Amino acid sequence: MTKHVLILRHVPHESAGTLENALAKADVEFQYLDLLHEYPCSFNCRQFLGLIVLGGGMNVDEVQKHPFLGNEIKWIRQTVEAGIPLLGICLGSQMLAKSFGARVYSGPIKEIGWYPLELTMAAAEDRLFADCGPKLTVFQWHGDTFDLPKGAVHLAQSPLCRNQAFRIGPSGYGLQFHIEMTSEMIENWLTESVNAKELTAVDYIDPQIIRQKTPQELPGLQILADKVLGRFAELCQERM
């Protein structure tokens, strides 16, 4: 069996977006595992070139409602400790933080839409984020945040959420923001039933403003994604 990157998906309306393009450009095969419908009895991280953990509306502690979360957190730690490239996005970043003992909790305010991001000085020397900053605009959709795990390298922050990106080990990355977005994904997320219900309960978020900003902000995000996700794909390619 050909080795590939495994993508863990928690909700059906989310995909890896432009990550798919980055992996394809590097000739790295990938497969999705939909954890709401498939629940493997065992997991061997060494079978894969890399692991990608996507977002989702659940929080990391909802193990009774979503039993796969408990094992998934163990898989994440096993992957990072084995030196296999891992990229956790949004919920995936929170699970990476929790897998190494950090606290995950509700943030002071939800970030949904386009927000400023600042890379740290450490990011300038990071394999994924070098030459990417220092100030950017990225897409967000989250209410929870996390403390940095012990030994993690802090890579990005925002005015409303200090811990936006970090690395643990040589190639375990957590991104609180959504770097993988396309215009189609943004519109799909804004209209998806659970998300739309969430938006109606948050009076300081206007979906129309998000739509208006997207043509202006998305090209910059995709330039960032080409660099960061392309470099992550190269990390996976090196294991072929």
Query: Which residues are catalytically annotated?
Result: 90, 178, 180
Which has the closest alpha carbon to 35: 77, 3, 6?
6
| Alpha helix ranges (H) inside 26-135 | 68-81, 91-99
Whether residue 73 contacts residue 91, with contact meaning beta carbons closer than 8 Å, is answered with: no
Alpha-carbon gap, residue 173 to 154, rounded angstroms: 10
| 13, 99, 165 from 132: Cα distances, Å | 29, 28, 13
Please state, in angstroms and as integers, the Cα–Cα distance from residue 112 to each residue in 27, 135, 198, 205, 238, following that order: 33, 19, 10, 7, 35
Please give the structure tokens belonging to residue 77. Answer: 């730690």
Chain mean position to CA 218: 17
